[in-house]
Amino acid sequence: MASNTRLIKYLILALMAGIAVWQIAAGNSPFGTGLLIGIIIAAGSVEIKQRRISELQRKGLNPYDERAWSLAGMAAYGSIRIYAISLALIILAGSIWGPQIKVNPYNLLGLCLCALLGLYVGSYYYYNQKF
């Protein structure tokens, strides 16, 4: 089971690397380069996480204990609340005082996703240090 999941992760990363190389070859080198750098970072983090899990399992510990699930749940709940409230305030302020500008929805969705994931990671580490 674990090897199948790992294989799927690396196949997805390989597919994305193919898209990145295709974008670089098509002339969209900033996007392709950024995607390729992100893939390299993601592959490194997957490998580090897998080594950590294997090390914990060799020691006889369960890497998926209740504490980890509890921290992940608190981090998800906290980051979604912070994100939703701050996004609502930004939209409210922008609709009142902001100029009418055109925004590429794909770029905006990417920025929103990046902010949400950053909040989740920060919340997870916050709760991990707190508890």
Task: Please give the C-alpha separations between residue 26 and each of 32, 39, 76, 107, 129, in angstroms, as whole numbers.
Answer: 9, 19, 38, 20, 45
pLDDT of residue 22: 92
Distance between CA 72 and CA 63 in Å, rounded? 13
Please report how many Cα atoms fall inside a 13 Å half-sphere around the Cα of residue 93, on the Cβ side.
6
State residue 66's pLDDT score. 81
pLDDT score of 2: 61
From the DSSP assignment, how many helices (H) and strands (E) are in the chain? 4, 0
pLDDT for 125 equals 86
Q: Identify the pLDDT of residue 79.
A: 87
Q: Are the CB atoms for 75 and 131 separated by under 8 Å?
A: no
13, 39 contact by CB (below 8 A)? yes
| CA-to-CA separations, 45 to 9, 52, 88, 103, in angstroms, rounded | 12, 11, 32, 32
Q: How far apart are CA 75 and CA 127, in angstroms?
A: 7
Reported pTM: 0.55
Owner of token pair 């996703």: 113
Regions of the chain with pLDDT less than 50:
1
